[in-house]
């Protein structure tokens, strides 16, 4: 029998990698040693100095939109084509940071097909196509490498795939990623169990929480809470779990995942805006060249090491490439420094001679401030929650966590005598390594918190004492059936599970009995709704939105409404909600439907996560 293969793809906002494990069905103490991380496109395992590649896709505009290059190779080819006559840049479009599109929907993007991505040159194309060619590239790279490694042909169906997703993705975004994986040929159907979606902080949890009974970090962790703060390029995701047992690890989610679009790319954008303001018209001359690429690579290194101390070395930006390309001379740059400093406070004035521009610490700190302030506010809000008592350890992961300034913020907000903030070794690959484990160890997370309230639209008997009932009666929104004495109010929200409640990860969450409102109806339907409120009264409230409808026949051989009663069962699994209708006494299934969950409306930007 061929050894079992697990491949995890960490498709990040700014940087990506994949990891694999061959053989071994059961997790053991040696699991970490069996997991190997790879940079897509490289020949060997990922070197420690470069554990990921850029998430950048260069796509041919003509034909069927094939992927021309990915990662660093895509950036370099795009820069070369733009700067020389060797390639026609009009034939190729570069896409960066396109994963953030799923976190920040545009108006009208309510279906998979309508979500778009925008290239660096302004091309607007379906995001599904860009995601699909990217995941197809990962699939091809993984299958090719594994075939060489094992000496046999490895097909997609031979692999157990794991795809990481941010905890702040809504259900629609998760379904989108599964659809893209299907289009890429990773799985033969969208609902295939050969693919598991793994929340990035949960992957990190599996990678960084020590299991040993004698480990000083976790030896007394049982009954206490562990937090994962995942600081990536696009988002900061935060999850908190109560540790039931440490060996084997078993945890319960104590608060819904939270976070926001406060990744390192926000700091990059602030630096880029400053550069644009400093260079003025010259910025456009380098915007699509290897010069800007080189400047941003330099900034990436400085950003990761910057600690914000007044005594720290200022950032020295070398712009000699502009002189080498004869775009400007030393006098032009001196004029830029003089002009810029006229409008700045002394603390933010730049210095330098020739092509060197020296940025003071206060100016560089200002690039970080808005993003770090947002993270601090979020952590402060979490810390104030009653569910966060007994917070024992905070593990900080993700590439952005290498930044000393960020770690200062996390420690200032969360570290105290009984809670330690832990810096993780190799934080940028913790997620992809943990994601490999997730395929076998997802049962570690035995329950999660519902992100929304889920329920159905029902009729209630009219209540004269209820002001809203009276208003709806006066507006003609009540119903009267010939075979019933009472007047009914339509559109009432009947909750199956409320926001914040524990949802078991092993299936059925809620069963409720329903009775037909009238003997006149031969068929019935359940309209399923979700709400960001805990106890909505009506489905047309601002907090509510519709997920779908399940229609089914009623048994007309039964004579009473009670005999025609049915049971509605809600089952949460992965990124979908399954609603089943069963006969109440015979337990025979009448109908079911999988809610291909619609995009959470834009007004619910504060809602994080799935379920």
Q: What is the CATH number of the domain that holds 544?
A: 2.60.34.10
Out of 400, 421, 444, a domain closes at 444
* pLDDT for 108: 62
- The C-alpha torsion from 413 through 415 and 419 to 421, rounded to 10°, is 100
Q: How far apart are CA 473 and CA 489, in angstroms?
A: 8
Q: What is the pLDDT of residue 46?
A: 47
- CATH number of the domain at 33, please: 3.30.420.40
Which alpha helices (H) appear in 67-197, and where do they start and end?
72-83, 127-150, 171-183
Q: Do residues 562 and 439 both lie within one domain?
A: no
3-state secondary structure of 340: helix
Using an 8 Å Cβ cutoff, are 81 and 58 in contact? no
Residues 174 and 69 in one domain: yes
Residues 435 and 553 in one domain: no
Domain boundary, last residue among 389, 415, 444: 444
Same domain for 587 and 439, yes or no, is no
Q: Which residue, among 142, 208, 143, 170, has the nearest Cα to 10 in the 3D structure?
A: 142
Of 558, 559, 547, 560, the C-alpha closest to 590 is 558
Contact 472, 478 (CB under 8 A): yes
Distance CA 169, CA 592 (A): 26
pLDDT digits (tens, 9 = 90+) for 441-461: 887 887 778 888 999 999 888
Biggest CA–CA distance in the chain, Å, is: 95
Q: Is residue 598 packed enough to be buried (19+ CB in 10 Å), middle (13-18) or exposed (0-12)?
A: middle
DSSP 308-322: --TTSPPEEEE-HHH
Last residue of a domain, one of 418, 444, 470: 444
Q: CB-based burial of residue 62 (10 Å sphere; 0-12 exposed, 13-18 middle, 19+ buried)?
A: exposed
pLDDT, residue 49, reads: 42
pLDDT at 605: 41
Q: Are residues 183 and 59 in the same domain?
A: yes
Residue 289 within a domain: no
> d(Cα 377, Cα 151) in Å, to the nearest integer?
52
| Range(s) of the domain holding residue 575 | 448-604
pLDDT of residue 416: 87
Within this chain, do residues 437 and 541 fall inside the same structural domain, yes or no?
Answer: no
Who contacts 258 (Cβ-Cβ below 8 Å, separation ≥6)?
167, 168, 237, 238, 378, 382, 608, 609
Residue 503 lies in a domain: yes
Q: Which pLDDT does position 83 carry in this prediction?
A: 65
- Name 319's Cβ contacts closer than 8 Å, sequence gap at least 6: 295, 333, 355, 356, 357
533 with 471, same domain? yes
CB 355 within 8 A of CB 322: yes
Answer yes or no: is 90 within a domain: yes
106 lies in some domain: yes
Q: Which DSSP string do the residues of 58-102 spell out, in sequence order? A: EEESSTT--EEEETHHHHHHHHHHHHSSSS-GGGEEEEESGGGGG
* Same structural domain, 440 and 546: no
Residue 394 sits at φ, ψ, to 5 deg, of -125, 120
Q: Which of 103, 382, 438, 453 is nearest to 238 (CA)?
A: 382
Answer yes or no: do 564 and 435 share one domain.
no
Distances in whole angstroms, Cα of residue 557 to Cα of each of 256, 390, 522, 554 = 46, 58, 10, 9
Residues of the chain with pLDDT under 70: 1-2, 24-33, 42-50, 62-64, 83-90, 104-110, 212-218, 386-387, 480-484, 505-508, 572-576, 586, 593-611
How many secondary structure helices (H) and strands (E) does the chain include?
13, 29
Residue 483 lies in a domain: yes
What pLDDT does residue 411 have? 96
28 and 151 belong to one structural domain: yes
User: 314, 356 in Cβ contact below 8 A?
Assistant: no
- Specify whether 143 is located in the same domain as 125: yes
Q: How far apart are CA 197 and CA 163, in angstroms?
A: 5
For residue 156, give the nearest of 140, 175, 134 by alpha carbon: 140
Alpha carbon separation from 413 to 226, 261, 376, 407, 486 (Å, rounded)? 15, 19, 7, 10, 57
Q: Do residues 491 and 436 share a domain?
A: no
In a domain, 570, yes or no: yes
């Amino acid at each position: 029998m061929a050894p079992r293969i697990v491949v995890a793809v960490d498709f990040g906002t700014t940087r990506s990698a994949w990891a694999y494990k061959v053989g071994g069905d059961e997790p053991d103490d040696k699991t970490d040693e069996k997991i190997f991380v790879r940079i897509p496109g490289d020949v060997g395992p990922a070197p420690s100095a470069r554990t990921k590649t850029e998430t950048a896709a260069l796509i041919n505009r003509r034909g069927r939109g094939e992927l021309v290059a990915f990662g660093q190779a895509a950036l370099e080819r795009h820069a070369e084509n733009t700067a020389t006559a060797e390639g026609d840049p009009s034939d190729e479009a570069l896409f960066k940071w396109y994963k953030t599109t799923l976190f920040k929907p545009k108006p009208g993007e309510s279906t998979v097909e309508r979500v778009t991505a925008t290239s660096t040159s302004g091309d607007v194309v379906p995001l599904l196509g860009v995601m699909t060619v990217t995941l197809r590239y990962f699939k091809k790279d993984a299958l090719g490498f594994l075939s060489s490694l094992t000496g046999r042909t490895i097909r997609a169906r031979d692999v157990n795939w794991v795809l990481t997703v941010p905890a702040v993705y809504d259900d629609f975004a998760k379904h989108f990623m599964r659809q893209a994986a299907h289009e890429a040929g990773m799985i033969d159907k969208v609902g295939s169990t050969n693919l598991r979606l793994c929340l990035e902080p949960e992957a990190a949890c599996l990678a960084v929480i020590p299991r040993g009974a004698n480990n000083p970090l976790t030896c007394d962790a049982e009954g206490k809470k562990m937090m994962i703060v995942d600081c990536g390029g696009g988002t900061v995701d935060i999850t908190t779990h109560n540790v039931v047992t440490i060996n084997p690890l078993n945890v319960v989610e104590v608060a819904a995942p939270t976070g926001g679009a406060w990744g390192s790319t926000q700091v990059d954008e602030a630096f880029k805006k400053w550069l644009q303001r400093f260079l003025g018209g010259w910025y456009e001359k380098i915007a699509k060249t290897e010069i800007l690429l080189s400047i941003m690579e330099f900034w990436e290194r400085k950003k990761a090491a910057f600690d914000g101390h007044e005594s720290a070395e200022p950032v020295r930006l070398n712009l000699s490439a502009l002189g080498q390309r004869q775009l400007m001379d030393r006098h032009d740059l001196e004029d830029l420094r003089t002009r810029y400093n006229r409008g700045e406070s002394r603390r933010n004035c730049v210095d330098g001679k020739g092509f060197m521009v020296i940025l003071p610490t206060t100016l560089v700190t200002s690039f970080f401030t808005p993003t770090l302030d947002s993270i601090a506010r979020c952590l402060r809000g979490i810390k104030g929650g009653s569910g966060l008592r007994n917070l024992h350890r905070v593990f900080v992961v993700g590439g952005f966590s290498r930044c000393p300034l960020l770690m200062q913020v996390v420690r200032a907000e969360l570290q105290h005598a009984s809670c330690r903030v832990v810096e993780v070794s190799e934080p940028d690959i913790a997620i992809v390594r943990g994601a490999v484990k997730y395929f076998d160890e997802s049962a570690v997370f035995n329950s999660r918190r519902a992100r929304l309230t889920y329920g159905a639209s029902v009729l209630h008997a009219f209540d004269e004492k209820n002001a809203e009932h009276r208003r709806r009666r006066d507006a003609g929104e009540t119903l009267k059936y010939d075979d019933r004495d009472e007047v009914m109010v339509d559109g009432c929200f009947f909750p199956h599970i409320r926001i914040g409640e524990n949802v078991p990860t092993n299936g059925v969450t809620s069963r409720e009995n329903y009775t037909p409102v009238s003997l006149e109806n031969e068929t019935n339907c359940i309209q399923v709704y979700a709400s960001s409120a805990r106890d909505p009264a009506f489905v047309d409230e601002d907090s509510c939105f519709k997920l779908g409808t399940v229609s089914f026949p009623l048994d007309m051989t039964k004579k009473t409404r009670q005999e025609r009663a049915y049971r509605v069962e809600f089952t949460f699994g992965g990124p979908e909600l399954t609603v089943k209708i069963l006969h109440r006494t015979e337990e025979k299934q009448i109908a079911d439907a999988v809610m291909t969950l619609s995009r959470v409306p834009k007004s619910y930007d504060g809602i994080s996560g799935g379920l």
